[in-house]
Structure 1
Amino acid sequence: MKAPHLRKLAYAVLAAVAAVCFFMGFKVPYTYYKAEQALPRNEQLPLFNPHRPAFTCEIEATKVPRIDVQADAWFHEARALEDPDTWEEDRDYKKIVQLTRAAAERRHWKAMLNLASLYLERRDPPHHADDALALVEEAMRLGIPAAYDRMGTYYMEGVGVPADATRAFAFWQKAAEMGSPHAMAYLGDKIAATWDSPKDGFWANIPVATKMLGCALGQGYGPAASTLYYLQAWPRSPNGSPSGPRTAATKAQALRTLQQGIRLGCADCARFLLVEFDRPVDLADMLVPHLDKARSERYRVVYDALDWNPDLRLPNLDKILPLPPAQLPQWNGDKKALIEAAKGVTLKRPQAEPGAPSQANGRAHRDAAYELRPCDDTTTTGTAPCAGYWAPTAPGGSAQLQTHLASVAPGLYQSGEPFDKVFDPSVAGAAPIAGLVWRRFITVHRDHEVIAPLAVAGIAREILPAELGLSCAADMPCPATGVWQPWLPSVHPASAALNQPWRQAWLVAGQPFPNPWHGGEPPFDPAELTWHLMEAGTSSNA
C-alpha cells in the first residue's frame, strides 16, 4: 500500500477513534488538534479569487534565504548527474540523493524541494511521501514561495494529504502572492480565458492574468510567454472579450515575448514560431511579418533541443536566430553548434590557492575557496537547527565577553548536533556561558565580487575569462560586439535574481543595452546595473 493511502487510512482511524471517544464521554487531547492545525499543510488561507481587482508582482529570489555557495556547488553537481542525455537507469541516484541532501541540510531551498521529489520517486528508500511532505513544510516555515506552490500540487494530486482542489488553488494563490513564478504562470493561464467556466477550471480576468504572466516571465520562467504572447497579440477587454484588431505594434510585442520565452526555455514558443514562419494557420492574419523557411528550420532545431532538455536556456539566441528584420547569420547546418552558440556562458574559475582556512582540522575547517558571511539565522537552543557554520554571540553581554566570543571561529555543525560549550576564560573554573545566541554563517566565494554567473554543467558554455574586461553602464551604447552579462553587486537584494547566465544578451557594437528584466518593474534602480563583456565576437556565425 502506498504511503498516501496509509496516511488517509490513519486519518480515517483517528476520526473514528475521536467519534467513539466523544460518544463514550472521553476527550481527545486538545494538544493533538493544536499540533495538527499548526502544521503548514493546514494553514488557513483565503479562497482563490479569480476576479481579484489587482495583483502585486513580488520577486521570489528576494524572499528566499541567501544560498550557501558550497551547498550550491553540491546542488549543481547533483543536477548535472541528472543530464537527460544519460539513460535513467545509468544515473547514479545514490550520489544524486547524497549531494542533494547535503545541500538541503544547509537550507538550500531548491535542494530541499528536489530532495522531496526524489523521495516521491522512491530514489532513497525507505523515504517516501511523508518525508517529502515534511521537507516541503520545512521550506514553507522558511517562507519559500515555491514550497507553497508545491503544497498546492500535493493537494491537487493527493500526495500525502487528502486531494482537495479548493485548498490547492488557495495554496497556489498564496505562492503567487509571495513571488512564485510557477504559481503566477499557472494561475495567469487559468484566468486568461475569454469567459468564465469554473467547472472547467478557467476564468476571465485579463489585467491580472497579464500582470501575473509578465511577472513570471520577468523572473525567468519561460513557459509564461506561451500564454502572455496571445494576450498581447489579440487585445482583450478585462472580461476576456476582444477589444480591437491586431496591429503591427501588438504583433511585434507578441513576437518579442515569444523570442524571450525561447531564450528562457519555452519549447512551445519555439514550436509556434517554427510553424508560423513556415505554414501559418491563417496567411491573411499571421503573426510573423513574412514566411521564412530558413528561420523555421532553425526554430525546429531549437524546439527539439528545448523539448529534450527543459532546463536548457538560450539567452544568446539573437546570435544565431534574431527576429526580422535582422538578417540571419550564416550557418553550416551543424545543429549542436547552433545550440551551443545560443547558450549562456560561464567562466572557468581558477583553482584556489592553498592555505588560509581558519584551521586545518576541527569544526572551523573550510575549503580554501570559500569565506564565511553571517546570515540572519539565529537560535537560542542548544542544538543546530540546520547544518552549517555557527558561532556564539551574547547580545547585551560585557565588552570583555563580546571580545572573547568574537575570537571564536564559526564551527561546522550537523543538523540537531549540540553546540560546543563555551567558557569565559577570565573566570577560572566557571560554568559554561549561559544564554548564548548562536548565529549561522554561509559560505561565499573568496572572489565573490568577480563577474562569474553560475550554471549547471552542460546548461551553459564554460569559457576562459574575457581578456578585454570591458564593462559599461546600462544607459550607454554597447561598446563591443559579443556576449554581455548584466550585474548587480553581490550584496544587493536582487542580485540572485539578476546575476544569472540566462539574463545575458548577444549585442552588436553601438546597440543600446536592453532591459534585462522582462515583465513588470525591475526590483532595482537601473543606475545600479552594469553590463560586462563575457565573450567578444565579431561574427554571429555558428
Structure 2
Amino acid sequence: MNRYAIIIGLSLVACVCSKKEPPGTALPDMSAVRTNLAFTCTHQADHLPPLDPQAEGLFLYARFLEKQDGPKDFNEVARYYRIAAAHGHYKANQNLQSLISDGLAGSPDAPKETVALAVRLIQQGIPSGYYDIGHYLETGYGLGQDAETALRYFRKAADLGNPEAQAYVAQLLAPLDKAPEIARQMRQCATDQGSRRYRAILEFLRSNDGRNPKLPDIDKIVPLPPAKLPPWDGTFEWQKAQNAAIPPKKPSEVTVDAMAKAYNLDPKTGFPL
C-alpha cells in the first residue's frame, strides 16, 4: 500500500465546542491521525441532530424566498439563514455557504465567513463540515491550498458517513496500486445511502410527512436502469405547486430579533454585532 493511500486514510478528531461559543476560522487539530485504512460503513443520518423548531421556521422562509421566481433579495435570504445557522441549523448553514461563496449574498469577507460556517458544522459534528473544509483546502478558497490536508478532511467526512466524501475518496483509492477494496466498500456505503437524487427525494418526503406529497415526476428524476439520469434542477412539481399556493409563514420580527440577540447578531443582517 503506497504513501498516497496512507494519506487518504488519515483521520482527525473533531473539536467539540459549546453551542454558545462564537465560531472562528481555526481548524481542528490535525495531529491525531491514523494510518489504518480499514473502513466501517456509517450513514450520515446517524450524525445529524434534531433541528430547532424556530430555526426551522427561519430556514423554510429563507428557502421560500430563495426559490421564488423573479428578482430575489439574496441578502434578505442570507439574513434568515445566518440567524438559523447560529442556532445550529445545518441546512441553513450549508445554503448560506453556497450563497456567500457564489457571490450572491454580500459579506464583509466572503471566504472567511464561508470557512467559519464550515468550521461551525465541524463543531456540531456534522459530517458535511469536514467535506466542505476539504473542498476549501483543495481549491484554496479562504484557506491556504493544501491537497494533502484536504484528503484528511475528505477521509474524516467519509468515515462519518458523508456520501459525497465516500464517493470521492473511493475514486481516489480505486486504482489497483492504491486500496481498491476500501474503495469498493466506500462506494457500496455511499450507494446504500442513495445517490444525491434519492437523498433529495427522501428529504422531500420527510419534510412533507403528513401532507400526502406526490411524485408524478419521479420517472423524470430517477428513471429505471439502464436509462441514464437526465438533467434535473433539484425541484419537485408537487412542491412547486404547494409553494405557489401556501407559502411558509413569515417569521415575526419579534422572533427574529430575539433569536438574533441570543447570539449577539444584528437582526437586520445576521452579522455579529
Band of TM-score, shorter chain: 0.5 to 0.7
Residue 415 of structure 1 and its aligned partner are, at CA, apart by 0.5
Are 1:56 and 2:56 an aligned pair? no
Residue 65 of structure 1 and its aligned partner are, at CA, apart by 2.5
Provide the residue aligned with 1:69 in structure 2: 53
- Extract unaligned runs of 5+ from structure 1: 1-37, 197-202, 226-261, 276-301, 314-338, 353-364, 367-386, 389-411, 418-542
Are 1:105 and 2:86 an aligned pair? yes
Identify which of 201, 210, 222 aligns with 2:196: 222
State the distance in 2 between where 1:223 and 1:139 align: 23
Q: Give the helix-richer structure, 1 or 2.
A: 2
Residue 312 of structure 1 and its aligned partner are, at CA, apart by 4.2
Identify which of 209, 212, 228 aligns with 2:183: 209
Contact 1:220 1:264 in 2 (8 A): no
Provide the residue aligned with 2:262 in structure 1: 414
| Residues 396-421 of structure 1, C-alpha deviations (whole Å, 9 max, x = no match) | xxxxxxxxxxxxxxxx952149xxxx
Are 1:39 and 2:26 an aligned pair? yes
Is the partner of 2:226 in helix, strand or coil? helix
State the distance in 2 between where 1:223 and 1:99 align: 26
State the distance in 1 between where 2:155 and 2:74 align: 33
State the distance in 1 between where 2:166 and 2:73 align: 34
Is the partner of 1:70 in helix, strand or coil? helix
| Residues 268-317 of structure 1, C-alpha deviations (whole Å, 9 max, x = no match) | x7598346xxxxxxxxxxxxxxxxxxxxxxxxxx71xxx241x347xxxx
State the distance in 1 between where 2:156 and 2:150 align: 10
Is the partner of 1:40 in helix, strand or coil? coil
Equivalent residues in 2 for 1:43-442, closer than 5 Å: 43-44=30-31, 46=33, 52=37, 54-83=38-67, 86=69, 90-122=71-103, 123-193=105-175, 195-196=176-177, 203-205=178-180, 207-222=181-196, 273-274=226-227, 303=230, 307-309=231-233, 311-312=234-235, 414-416=262-264
Shift in CA distance, 135/264, structure 1 to aligned 2, threshold 3 Å: farther
Counterpart residue type for residue 40 of structure 2: T
Is the partner of 1:67 in helix, strand or coil? coil
Shift in CA distance, 86/127, structure 1 to aligned 2, threshold 3 Å: farther
Q: Give the strand-richer structure, 1 or 2.
A: 1
State the distance in 2 between where 1:165 and 1:98 align: 33
Contact 2:107 2:113 in 1 (8 A): no
State the distance in 2 between where 1:210 and 1:157 align: 26
User: What do you get for the CA RMSD once the two structures are aligned?
Assistant: 4.1
- Extract unaligned runs of 5+ from structure 2: 1-24, 200-216, 266-273
State the distance in 2 between where 1:217 and 1:76 align: 28
Residue 45 of structure 1 and its aligned partner are, at CA, apart by 5.1
User: Number of residue pairs matched?
Assistant: 215
Counterpart residue type for residue 26 of structure 2: L
Counterpart residue type for residue 226 of structure 2: L
| Residues 171-224 of structure 1, C-alpha deviations (whole Å, 9 max, x = no match) | 10011112212211211233234x33xxxxxx451x322322232233343379
State the distance in 2 between where 1:184 and 1:158 align: 21
| Larger RCO (CA within 8 A; separation ≥ 6) | 2
Residue 143 of structure 1 and its aligned partner are, at CA, apart by 1.3
Contact 2:134 2:151 in 1 (8 A): yes
TM-score (norm 1): 0.34
Shift in CA distance, 119/42, structure 1 to aligned 2, threshold 3 Å: farther
Is the partner of 1:168 in helix, strand or coil? helix
TM-score (norm 2): 0.63
Aligned-pair identity in percent equals: 28
State the distance in 1 between where 2:119 and 2:78 align: 19
| Residues 503-522 of structure 1, C-alpha deviations (whole Å, 9 max, x = no match) | xxxxxxxxxxxxxxxxxxxx
State the distance in 1 between where 2:84 and 2:30 align: 27
Contact 2:41 2:186 in 1 (8 A): yes
State the distance in 1 between where 2:27 and 2:49 align: 18
State the distance in 2 between where 1:128 and 1:97 align: 12
Shift in CA distance, 158/263, structure 1 to aligned 2, threshold 3 Å: farther
State the distance in 1 between where 2:141 and 2:219 align: 29
Counterpart residue type for residue 109 of structure 1: Y
Residue 115 of structure 1 and its aligned partner are, at CA, apart by 1.7
